[in-house]
Amino acid sequence: MEAQDTVHEAHTPAIPSGVRSEGDALARLYDSVADDMEATNRTIVARMDSPVPLIPQLAAHLVAAGGKRLRPLLVLASARLCGYTPGPDGIRRHVNLAACVEFIHTATLLHDDVVDESHMRRGLASANAVFGNKASVLVGDFLFARAFQLMTDDGALRVMAILSAASATIAEGEVLQMSTQNDLSTSLERYLEVIHGKTAALFAAACRVGAVVAERPAAEEIALETYGTNLGMAFQLVDDALDYAADQARLGKTVGDDFREGKITLPVLAAYEAGDETERAFWRRVIEDSDHTEADLATALDLIDRRGAIARTLDHARRYADAACAALDVFPQSRLRRQMTDIARYTVDRDR
Amino acid sequence: MEAQDTVHEAHTPAIPSGVRSEGDALARLYDSVADDMEATNRTIVARMDSPVPLIPQLAAHLVAAGGKRLRPLLVLASARLCGYTPGPDGIRRHVNLAACVEFIHTATLLHDDVVDESHMRRGLASANAVFGNKASVLVGDFLFARAFQLMTDDGALRVMAILSAASATIAEGEVLQMSTQNDLSTSLERYLEVIHGKTAALFAAACRVGAVVAERPAAEEIALETYGTNLGMAFQLVDDALDYAADQARLGKTVGDDFREGKITLPVLAAYEAGDETERAFWRRVIEDSDHTEADLATALDLIDRRGAIARTLDHARRYADAACAALDVFPQSRLRRQMTDIARYTVDRDR
């Protein structure tokens, strides 16, 4: 809760707690853009304000809850890698756009929280559950609108084109994910399309926007977009692996969320594909028919482990991380470039 | 279902069925911009397409359901009133922005379905009831993103500033409405603030955008914005009156929706204010404690009628409609200007 309390302070800590303590690749990259990240945090707090008190209250809960701020970090690092320096007007375009990207991300998180009515007992949904849905949707909409106001203030049509296309792709990815739910016949290709939409598209846009504000040649823009896409794919693959593999306490989230929702992710697809008939019957019951108990989760974790499905998922992630690193070859060697390739590797090795 | 079936035809009828048959002020205004409205409908169909099939399916359900298309009509009529003609490139900016405004509106309707858990909208089963909360949220997000892509394609920063600010104001209005729910101590001023946000802000933006594309002086922009604001206020006040007064079959929505949701609207506030102690106790039970039966709705309708609360609501609406008409005085007399003042009067006199 500490992060939440600090949200209205003038000097929000640049580096989310829990990142620095790891002393890892991510913390080093945060350090490299610490001033810009502090400015981004201040912009986030300033721009989520509204005369309607519930909005900053709820937005603060998520925006300030201490996520990794990975997407704004990518905007800032990409702009820096491209040698961006603010113009004579002193406006830090990359800072405003980093805040913008975090707003888009937060809006999608809020909307992802929305629960289908079918998941509540009809007519018995608690006032709180209904209030939650309602607030999530509307505050998400507000942040999305604010993101577009930040883009408008920035004034570059190319930035708007990139970020509005990414926003459409995110929505498409989320809808596609919804339509693969509970469906074990989902192909690997379709799964990759889903995670591209829900995660990689915004990573790619964040990186590309950094190159755009620096007014770099197309080759550098495309290199950063490729870096972002591949980093995002790796990130989501690992996220999906962690949902079946992580130490629950360290992850800070419940293992098995995806399992309980019947979400189709690579660990499940790989275990299903490699399974014998008995195993496949198990997967059909728990995923397709949504007929499962907590004991079934233990069985699922065991089957996923025995069929090497986590390893297969991480193999995919590692290939994407390698592609992310390779994409940065167009830039001369530098400390910053090394830090950016390091976080691609960190993404695969992380356990949280 | 008829309107839905025609959505993929090349020549979507310009005038929604049910409007022409009335032979009223609205139909005459549609006639004046019939070509542009047909082009708008085609743009809407083209731009809601997506490789993810569920998106056009769900979007068609609402976009094609034959609402009044009032907001795109306002963009088109305002642009025409300002003498807008497409440039030598043949691009009809007002048509693209009319589609854009309808997408923003449809996105808010989809999200409103989640919020209000309403079961009927425009006489069809709501998208939410058919597809679920989550789909409504995500397809709304997609349409919102598409709206911003249309603005980006248009390329005018002033248009983006107007429409992104309106989008933020809509979200604020909806959140404010949420926080007044079940609260009979809501002031008239606060209620007016809510309906300004949820309805009048987009009416105003639609009208103003018409003036912006025509590159008219600030006085005309502001006149049209004032017209739109006041028209929107009148429109929402009448909508709120109709929820307690309309013939259910003709309105195509269930009378008493607002009552059942504990929504605070002027008919209730006025009846509460004018009521005696017994009546006030009744209102507190049914609105504040959400403790009501269908028999209570009959009582509510009776009290609202006896206390003249509908008349008071319509008085307010009439004053806003008058202000809308007066705002157009800066424009020379013309058939189009008269049609635009006529729809302000129609808004107050309509029974659907």
DSSP letter string, A117-168? GGGS-TTT--HHHHHHHHHHHHHHHHHHHHHHHHHHHH--HHHHHHHHHHHH
Minimum CA–CA partner of A118 in chain B: B132
Split at pLDDT 50, 70, 90, the class of B39 is very high
The predicted structure's pLDDT at residue A134: 82
Q: Which of B161, B176, B178 sits opposite A152 (nearest CB)?
A: B161
Domains and CATH numbers, chain B: 2-349 (1.10.600.10)
Q: How far is A12 from chain B (nearest CA, A)?
A: 25
HSE-CB at A81 with a 13 A cutoff on CA atoms is 32
- Residue of A150, A164, A261 for testing the chain B interface, max B β-carbons within 10 Å: A164
The predicted structure's pLDDT at residue A63: 61
Q: Do the chains contact at A139 and B172, CB–CB below 8 Å? A: no
Task: For residue B152, list chain A residues with Cβ-Cβ distance below 8 A.
Answer: 157, 160-161, 164
Whether A72 and A99 have beta carbons less than 8 Å apart is answered as yes
Q: Do the chains contact at A133 and B139, CB–CB below 8 Å? A: no
The percent of residues in chain A predicted with pLDDT above 90, rounded, is: 71
Angle CA(B337)–CA(B74)–CA(B214) in degrees, nearest 5? 75
Split at pLDDT 50, 70, 90, the class of A64 is low
* Torsion angle, alpha carbons of A191, A195, A196, A198, to 10: 140
Which tokens go with B194? Answer: 């809510």
Q: How far is A166 from chain B (nearest CA, A)?
A: 8
Minimum CA–CA partner of B140 in chain A: A171
Q: Do the chains contact at B132 and A144, CB–CB below 8 Å? A: no
The predicted structure's pLDDT at residue B128: 57
Q: How far is B333 from chain A (nearest CA, A)?
A: 36
Task: For residue B202, list chain A residues with Cβ-Cβ distance below 8 A.
Answer: none
Split at pLDDT 50, 70, 90, the class of B66 is low
Q: 């809510």: which residue's tokens?
A: B194
Task: For residue B138, list chain A residues with Cβ-Cβ distance below 8 A.
Answer: 111, 171, 174-175, 178
Task: For residue A117, list chain B residues with Cβ-Cβ distance below 8 A.
Answer: 117, 132-133
The residue type of A118 is S
Split at pLDDT 50, 70, 90, the class of B315 is very high
Minimum CA–CA partner of A51 in chain B: B172
Q: 């009032």: which residue's tokens?
A: B70
Whether A54 and B175 have beta carbons less than 8 Å apart is answered as yes
The predicted structure's pLDDT at residue A335: 97
Question: Is residue B12 predicted with pLDDT exceeding 50?
Answer: no
Whether A246 and A255 have beta carbons less than 8 Å apart is answered as yes
Task: For residue B133, list chain A residues with Cβ-Cβ distance below 8 A.
Answer: 114-117, 133
Give the C-alpha separation, A33 to A15, whole Å. 10
What average pLDDT does the segment B70-83 reach?
Answer: 97
- Residue of A122, A160, A194, A202 for testing the chain B interface, max B β-carbons within 10 Å: A160
Which of the residue ranges A71-80, A195-204, B11-20, B148-157 would you say has the lowest mean pLDDT? B11-20
Question: Is residue B210 predicted with pLDDT exceeding 50?
Answer: yes
- DSSP for A209-238? HHHHHTT--HHHHHHHHHHHHHHHHHHHHH
The predicted structure's pLDDT at residue A60: 73
Q: Which residues of B touch A (CB under 8 A)?
A: 50-55, 107-108, 111, 114-115, 117, 132-135, 137-139, 141-142, 144-146, 148-149, 151-152, 155, 157, 160-161, 164-165, 167-168, 170-172, 174-176, 178-179
Split at pLDDT 50, 70, 90, the class of B135 is confident
Give the C-alpha separation, B191 to A145, whole Å. 23
The predicted structure's pLDDT at residue A351: 64
What does each C-alpha distance from B227 to A60, A290, B286 come to in angstroms?
Answer: 36, 54, 36
What does each C-alpha distance from B224 to B99, B158, B232 come to in angstroms?
Answer: 19, 15, 12
| Contacting residues for A270 by C-beta, under 8 A, at least 6 apart | A304, A307, A308, A309, A312, A313
Give the C-alpha separation, A215 to A85, whole Å. 11
Minimum CA–CA partner of A111 in chain B: B137
Whether B234 and B248 have beta carbons less than 8 Å apart is answered as no
What does each C-alpha distance from B303 to A187, B307, B314, B352 come to in angstroms?
Answer: 60, 6, 16, 22
Q: How far is B22 from chain A (nearest CA, A)?
A: 36
Give the C-alpha separation, B220 to A236, whole Å. 51
Task: For residue A54, list chain B residues with Cβ-Cβ distance below 8 A.
Answer: 175, 178-179
Whether A313 and A240 have beta carbons less than 8 Å apart is answered as yes
What does each C-alpha distance from B19 to B16, B24, B29, B59, B210 come to in angstroms?
Answer: 6, 8, 10, 22, 23
The predicted structure's pLDDT at residue B59: 74
Which tokens go with A332? Answer: 């001369």
Task: For residue A141, list chain B residues with Cβ-Cβ distance below 8 A.
Answer: 107-108, 111, 144, 167, 170-171, 174
The residue type of B229 is T
Q: Do the chains contact at B142 and A175, CB–CB below 8 Å? A: yes
Give the C-alpha separation, B25 to B202, whole Å. 21
- Residue of B106, B133, B189, B290 for testing the chain A interface, max A β-carbons within 10 Å: B133
Split at pLDDT 50, 70, 90, the class of A95 is very high
Minimum CA–CA partner of B107 in chain A: A141
Arithmetic mean of pLDDT over chain A: 86
Give the C-alpha separation, A18 to A66, whole Å. 9
Give the C-alpha separation, B321 to A257, whole Å. 53
H-helix or E-strand containing B121? Answer: strand B120-121
Question: Is residue A144 predicted with pLDDT exceeding 50?
Answer: yes
The predicted structure's pLDDT at residue A126: 35
Split at pLDDT 50, 70, 90, the class of B311 is very high
Phi, psi of A280, deg, nearest 5:
-65, -35
Q: How far is A151 from chain B (nearest CA, A)?
A: 9
The predicted structure's pLDDT at residue B191: 98
Which tokens go with A202? Answer: 């915004």
Give the C-alpha separation, A75 to A231, whole Å. 13
For A276, counting Cβ atoms within 10 Å of its Cβ (0-12 exposed, 13-18 middle, 19+ buried), the class is exposed
How large is the ipTM?
0.88
Give the C-alpha separation, B133 to A113, whole Å. 11
Neighbour count for residue A63 (Cβ, 10 Å): 28
Q: How far is B290 from chain A (nearest CA, A)?
A: 11
What does each C-alpha distance from A281 to A185, A267, A271, B265 come to in angstroms?
Answer: 13, 16, 12, 54
pLDDT 10s digits, B212-236: 999 999 999 999 999 999 999 999 9
Question: Is residue B251 predicted with pLDDT exceeding 70?
Answer: no
Which tokens go with A43? Answer: 């912009």
Question: Is residue B166 predicted with pLDDT exceeding 60?
Answer: yes
The predicted structure's pLDDT at residue B309: 95
Q: Do the chains contact at A168 and B142, CB–CB below 8 Å? A: yes
Task: For residue A168, list chain B residues with Cβ-Cβ distance below 8 A.
Answer: 50, 142, 145-146, 149
Task: For residue B135, list chain A residues with Cβ-Cβ distance below 8 A.
Answer: 175, 178
Task: For residue B53, list chain A residues with Cβ-Cβ distance below 8 A.
Answer: 179
Split at pLDDT 50, 70, 90, the class of B249 is very low
Give the C-alpha separation, B285 to B281, whole Å. 6
DSSP H helical segments within B243-308, as ranges? 248-251, 257-261, 266-274, 277-283, 294-306
Determine how β-strand B120-121 pairs with β-strand B124-125: antiparallel
Q: Do the chains contact at B149 and A138, CB–CB below 8 Å? A: no
Q: Do the chains contact at B52 and A179, CB–CB below 8 Å? A: yes
Which of the residue ranges A20-34, A104-118, A245-259, B271-285 would you say has the lowest mean pLDDT? A245-259
Total number of residues shown for chain B:
352
Which residue would you say has higher pLDDT here, B312 or A109? B312
The predicted structure's pLDDT at residue B24: 84
Question: Is residue A291 predicted with pLDDT exceeding 80?
Answer: yes
